[in-house]
Amino acid sequence: MRLEKIQGYLRSKGWTYRYTEEDGCGSIDLEYRGIPYHIWEFPDGEGAESNVRDGGRQEEFSGSYEEEILAVIKDWK
- Per-residue pLDDT, 77: 81
Task: List the chain pLDDT tens, one digit each, 77 residues.
Answer: 899 999 999 999 999 999 999 999 999 999 999 999 999 999 877 899 999 999 989 999 999 999 999 999 999 98
pTM of the model: 0.92
Maximum CA extent, the chain:
34
| Amino acid identity, position 60 | E
Per the CB < 8 A criterion, the answer to whether 60 and 48 are in contact is yes
Per the CB < 8 A criterion, the answer to whether 2 and 21 are in contact is yes
The alpha carbon of 72 is separated from its chain's Cα centroid by a whole number of angstroms, namely 10
Rounded-to-5 percentages of helix, strand, coil across the chain: 25, 40, 35
- Per-residue pLDDT, 46: 86
- Per-residue pLDDT, 45: 75
Domain range summary for the chain, segments of one domain joined by +: 4-59
